[in-house]
Structure 1
Amino acid sequence: MRRYLQQRLKFRHLRVIDAIATHDSILQAARALGLSQPALTKSLQEIEEIVGARLFDRHARGVDPTPFGLTVAAAARRLLAEIGRLEDELDALEGGDGGPVVVGALPVAAAGVLPGALARLKIARPDIEVRVIQGRTEELISQLSRRELDLIIGRLYTLDAPDGLVRTPFYSEPISVVARADHPIFARQDATAAVLADYSLVLPTVSQRVGQEIDVLLAEMKVAPHQPLRSSSVAMIREILYATDGVAVIPHMMLAGDLLRGALRLLPLPATGRPRPAGLIRRGDTALLSNAQAFVDAARGYVGEIESRLATPSD
């Protein structure tokens, strides 16, 4: 059966298939692409009509790709990667610097590392434009593979299988206990893990990977938080720390600016956890162009400043 894919299959179709295969969900794929769910469903129906086969089976938790879906999704990713590679090559021919730098930022890095890194870059290279896209690991990895991002900065999680990307650790995101600088807990002589039970704890949401890691750490410290406040918003966590006697258990890099300014302090408790390396993720088939490398240099410099000025309870 001739499908005439060259004439009928469009670039937008490739992005739809890649997004659905990445998220295993029509709804999540629609959000990632900035489309309504009905619009994405209509696009999928168009693609299935062109291909002549069902590509995804729906179920209560999302969708699963059929054998046809797996084949089409793999081809879509290859084609999107080739288009991204062409864009890189054209950028290199045009000037060699790569133009705007598109950075994917995981949550802790977005809140704690990016502001200082961008301030440093603005001083050193005011001519460089940076675009920041915040997201979760699986979303950003997909965008990096499609060459929609130049690099990702943030936590380096253990891989289930090789993905062809290069991961370069250059800092860590240790979990620490943080409170406002004038918090009464700093005047106590019994600053052990047990004193945390005397204060309201502020924690990341359990749906975040870091929230799950923190719950494991608290259990190891034998701390059972009573009705903690949980939030995925760094701004809310920060305001709660300033407005109340709440104490946060979070990666302190998330509040690096406040700690450097002395508005917040680290509490020296035995909050040891598993190593939490962080750094750079990039594609392995091309080197970073000069503008992207300048951003990386600025990020390394700012992280070095944080680590040299902050006395951490543990790394």
Structure 2
Amino acid sequence: MAVRRYLDQRLKLHHLRAVEAIVAQRSILKAAAVIGVSQPALTKTLRELEDILQQRLFDRLPRGVRPTEAGTLLAQSARRILAELRRLDEALDHIADPEGGTVAIGTLPVAATAVLPGALTRLKAEHPGIGVRLEQGRTEELLPKLAAGEIDLIVGRLYEPAAPDGFSREPLWEEPISILARADHPVFAGGPPKPEELRRYDLVLPTVSQRVGQEIDTVLDMLALEPTPSLRSSSYGFIREMLHATDLISVMPRLMMAGDLLRGTLRVVPLPIPAPPRPAGLILPRDRPLAPAGAAFVACLRAHVAEIGQRGLADITSADKRRGKSDRTRRRNQG
């Protein structure tokens, strides 16, 4: 016999915020700090929830908690409901101020340092009333948030999904792995360098995600460049200074240094091998259209990407001229 829980009458928003925070933090103590309540108060809210649902929501572990099947189910619904309320709040703001609104952008690390600064600068100049929420992460971390409506879109490298996942992927540009050096570096003295000429110079390499790191290692292997004695850093500022001040060269997605390339203080060293394709662009949900603020951001991103392409820093794909609606990227023209 089905149990009547009367969730529409008994569940409150603070219940949803509580379970979402506990699942995210995997700790009642940490979740209490995040949502600004005491641990006893959050524990009481959790007991109320379990009483309403007549289900245990979390298993207590030596360190923290783990959601049960019911807890995971409730957290997924909570994220969708809270995201819809945030979207409603933003839509009401847009009614009050048609030039305003907020766009929530998920970004992969390379895009965060490459195309986003220029796109957001353009957005602020053209639409000063639009607010921006940025969340940086890996694709597998951002996709659930896109599905739940917590973010409006994802900008960055388009990795091929293992199976169709219901998202639209639209390639806009290429993020080739390139060799970078200062504009007056000796490597530019002659014609395109041979691999043995590149091996004369020490490397400074970025500390990046596993996927990007593997792609960098692939190019290093193809060129027989030895990364062992190289400098590695997660600080783009440090890498920039080393490139500008020394004869070090770097191997990375070239748009990580888009600003310096546009200013002409760094240059791309011609690769003596074909660079593996690395399409990048937008990931969008199929089941909801972009709000006006999101559409305005996409327009500014397209314009900035077009400018980068005109300056010869990246190959621009045909998808910047026509909208794509595909779970996959391999059928797209990757420039």
TM-score between both structures, scaled by the size of structure 2: 0.75
Distance (Å, rounded) in 1 between the aligned partners of 2:273 and 2:179: 7
Contact 2:56-2:68 within 8 A present in 1 as well: no
Once residues 109 and 26 of structure 1 are traced to their aligned partners in structure 2, the CA distance between those partners, rounded to angstroms, is 32
Structure with max Cα Rg: 2
Question: Do the aligned partners of residues 34 and 189 (structure 1) sit closer, same or farther apart at CA in structure 2, a change above 3 Å counting?
Answer: farther
SS at match of 1:108: helix
1:53 aligns with 2:74: no
Deviation at residue 261 of structure 1 after TM alignment: 1.0
3-state SS, counterpart of residue 224 of structure 1: coil
Residue in structure 1 matching 2:120, options 118, 121, 137: 118
Q: How far does residue 175 in structure 1 lie from its aligned partner after superposition?
A: 0.7
- Would the alpha carbon gap of residues 217 and 157 (structure 1) be closer, same or farther in structure 2, given more than 3 Å must change? same
Residues in 1 aligned to 2:167 and 2:97: alpha-carbon distance in whole angstroms: 25
C-alpha displacement at 1:298, in angstroms? Answer: 1.4
Which letter does structure 2 place at the counterpart of 1:75? S
Partner of 1:309: 311
User: Residues 290-309 of structure 1: CA distance to partner in whole angstroms, max 9, x if unpaired?
Assistant: 23222211111111111221
Distance between the aligned counterparts of 1:275 and 1:41, measured in 2?
53
* CA deviations over 1:68-98 (Å, ceiling 9, x no partner): 3433333333433443453355345445556
Q: Which amino acid aligns with 1:11?
A: L
Residue 82 of structure 2 aligns to a residue in which SS?
Answer: helix
Match of 1:269 in 2: 271
Equivalent of 2:15 in 10, 30, 34: 10
Q: Indicate the larger mover: 157-166 or 193-202.
A: 157-166
1:267 CA displacement: 0.4
**Structure 1 residue 173: Cα displacement:** 0.9
Matched-pair contact (CA < 8 Å) for 1:172–1:276: yes
CA distance in 1, matches of 2:41, 2:139: 28
Superposition deviation, residue 107 in structure 1: 1.5
Question: What runs of 5+ residues in structure 1 fail to find an aligned partner?
Answer: none
1:85-104 aligned at under 5 Å gives the runs 85-87=87-89, 89-91=91-93, 93-95=95-97, 99-104=101-106
Greater shift in the superposed pair: 235-244 or 257-266: 235-244
Q: C-alpha offsets along residues 216-251 of structure 1, whole Å, 9 cap, x if unaligned? A: 232233322232222222222211211222111111
Given the superposition, is the C-alpha separation of residues 262 and 41 from structure 1 closer, same or farther in structure 2, using an over 3 Å criterion? farther
Residue 144 of structure 1: CA displacement?
A: 3.2
| Stretches of structure 2 lacking an aligned partner (at least 5 in a row) | 316-333
What amino acid is aligned across from residue 308 of structure 1 in structure 2? Answer: Q
Partner of 2:175: 173
In 2, Cα distance between the equivalents of 1:281 and 1:310?
Answer: 24
Q: Does 1:182 align with 2:184?
A: yes
- For the structure 1 residues 126 and 224, does the alpha-carbon distance in structure 2 shift closer, same or farther, using more than 3 Å as the test? same
- Give the share of equivalent positions with the same residue, in percent: 47
* Residue correspondence of structure 1 range 225-304 to structure 2 within 5 A: 225-270=227-272, 272-304=274-306
Kept in 2: contact 1:14–1:77 (CA 8 A): no
Q: What TM-score do the two structures reach when normalised by structure 1?
A: 0.79
**Contact between 1:151 and 1:281, CA under 8 Å: does it hold in 2?**
yes
CA contact (8 A) 1:179 1:247 kept: yes
Once the two structures are TM-superposed, the CA of residue 13 in structure 1 deviates from its matched residue by 1.6
CA distance change for structure 1 residues 225 and 286 in 2, over 3 Å: closer, same or farther?
Answer: same
Provide the C-alpha distance between the structure 2 equivalents of 1:44 and 1:217, rounded to a whole number of angstroms. Answer: 52
Moved more, 247-256 or 225-234: 225-234
Hey, what's the Cα distance between the residues in 2 that align with 1:232 and 1:26? 29
Deviations 1:187-212 (A, max 9, x none): 25571233333222122225443122
Give yes or no for contact 1:179–1:266 (8 Å, CA) kept in 2: yes
Q: Residues of 2 paired with 1:76 and 1:46: CA distance?
A: 15
